[in-house]
């Protein structure tokens, strides 16, 4: 077991909070009359939606964590087995509960509106990722789960490029990225397209292998990029902006993590990281179920914050329960 890198835990914790915050605030936007004045904390970071910001951080730390773990060597059989056991038992567990507890899932399956064969997309964890282009029985996990599955599939190839051909691989990847941004004609959301998000994943990998630390000069440059996105409406493609703000935010947070590191931040970050996948699977279902019972037109900002706190408590209880059940399942069935 390698020593844990605190900055990865710290940034993952920040990303987890940002994603939960995104889906709580979303209930005030995805309605006939939007209520932005009732959102908690913020719904924008660095001039981009906080959800896009959180996903970008997740992509970067995913690349960084994988590269840190498999920097020296990688056994493909062990790697893919571990990824499967990490993702799917918990996903199936949460999906099964939601499918039978909430009427939406079973009703959609039994009605025949969606072809039943499309349950295959759920079985392979791609239902959220593909839901905008094909009817699926998508209930939990967000589109990000499908993206991570694809990332795990190609990670050994990315690792080979970063390790054996670092300069040429970086240049080629950047050229492909720029070309696709200006020549994208695929009926699929840009933010979900794998090749357009590789610069973030690869940056995390390169950082862990070659950079490792953030200098003061790098910090200043990152702050300039972040503040430019925050203060000015720069007319560039949104995917460029997300990439730049995501990477600059990562570098800033790496630097900040060393300044705030103490037993409390270490404990909180480790706690959120431990349950991050469970939180990721359950949070939006709990938020939607709870907030659908609230008349949003009648609440003020103080009550909005109170309801957000209630959602956090419910998400915490559900996540810890799911994590415990998943641990039992993995131990009894897979000897993990």
Phi-psi map region of 322: left, alpha, beta (phi>0 left; psi -120 to 50 alpha): alpha
Kindly tell me if the per-residue pLDDT of 240 is higher than 80.
Answer: yes
Kindly tell me if the per-residue pLDDT of 172 is higher than 80.
Answer: yes
pLDDT, residue 69, reads 94
Helix (H, G, I), strand (E, B) or coil at 292: coil
155 CA to centre of own chain? 17
How large is the average pLDDT for residues 317-335? 88
The neighbouring-strand residues paired with 45 are: 48
Write out the DSSP string of 173-215. HHHHHHHHHHT---SS-GGG-HHHHHHHHHHHHHIIIII-S--
pLDDT, residue 99, reads 85
Give the H or E element holding residue 48.
strand 48-49
Kindly tell me if the per-residue pLDDT of 32 is higher than 80.
Answer: no
Specify the pTM: 0.92
How far apart CA 251 and CA 218 sit, in angstroms, is 8
Kindly tell me if the per-residue pLDDT of 329 is higher than 90.
Answer: no
pLDDT, residue 183, reads 93
Residue 108: pLDDT band (50, 70, 90) is low
- Cβ atoms of residues 190 and 196 within 8 Å: yes
How large is the average pLDDT for residues 129-149? 91
Kindly tell me if the per-residue pLDDT of 278 is higher than 90.
Answer: yes
Kindly tell me if the per-residue pLDDT of 30 is higher than 90.
Answer: no
Kindly tell me if the per-residue pLDDT of 104 is higher than 70.
Answer: no
Write out the DSSP string of 82-137. HHHHHHHHHHHHHHHHHHHHSHHHHHHHHH-SS-GGGHHHHHTT-HHHHTTTS---
pLDDT, residue 159, reads 97
Chain-wide mean pLDDT for the chain? 92
Kindly tell me if the per-residue pLDDT of 301 is higher than 90.
Answer: yes
How far apart CA 192 and CA 160 sit, in angstroms, is 24
How far apart CA 134 and CA 283 sit, in angstroms, is 24
Residue 110: pLDDT band (50, 70, 90) is low
How large is the average pLDDT for residues 130-148? 90
How large is the average pLDDT for residues 87-106? 84
Vertex 224 angle, CA 221 and 226, to 5°: 110
How large is the average pLDDT for residues 23-43? 88
């Amino acid at each position: 077991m390698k020593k844990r890198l605190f900055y990865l835990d710290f940034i993952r914790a920040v990303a987890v909070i940002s994603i939960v915050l995104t889906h709580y605030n979303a209930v005030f936007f995805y309605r006939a009359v939007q209520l932005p004045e009732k959102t908690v904390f913020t719904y924008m970071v660095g001039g981009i939606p906080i959800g896009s910001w959180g996903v970008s951080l997740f992509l970067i730390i995913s690349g960084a964590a994988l590269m840190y773990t498999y920097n020296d060597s990688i056994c493909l059989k062990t790697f893919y087995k571990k990824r499967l056991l990490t993702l799917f038992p918990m996903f199936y567990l949460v999906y099964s509960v939601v499918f039978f507890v909430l009427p939406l899932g079973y009703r959609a399956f039994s009605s025949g509106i969606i072809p039943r064969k499309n349950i295959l997309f759920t079985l392979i964890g791609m239902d959220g990722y593909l839901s905008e282009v094909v009817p699926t029985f998508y209930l939990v996990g967000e589109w990000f789960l499908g993206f991570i599955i694809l990332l795990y599939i190609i990670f050994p190839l990315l690792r080979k490029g970063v390790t054996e051909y670092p300069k040429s691989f970086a240049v080629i990847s950047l050229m492909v990225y720029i070309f696709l941004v200006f020549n994208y004609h695929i009926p699929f959301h840009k933010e979900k397209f794998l090749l357009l998000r590789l610069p973030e994943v690869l940056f995390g990998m390169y950082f862990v292998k070659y950079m490792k630390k953030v200098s003061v000069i790098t910090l200043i440059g990152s702050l300039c990029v972040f503040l430019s996105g925050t203060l000015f409406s720069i007319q560039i493609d949104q995917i460029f902006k997300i990439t730049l703000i995501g990477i600059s935010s990562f570098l800033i947070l790496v630097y900040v993590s060393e300044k705030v590191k103490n037993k409390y931040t270490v404990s909180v970050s480790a706690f959120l990281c431990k349950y991050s996948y469970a939180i990721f699977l359950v949070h939006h279902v709990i938020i939607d179920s709870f907030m659908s019972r609230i008349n949003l037109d009648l609440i003020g900002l103080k009550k909005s914050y109170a309801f957000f706190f209630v959602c956090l408590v419910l998400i915490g209880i559900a996540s810890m329960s799911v994590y415990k059940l998943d641990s039992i399942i993995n131990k009894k069935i897979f000897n993990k």
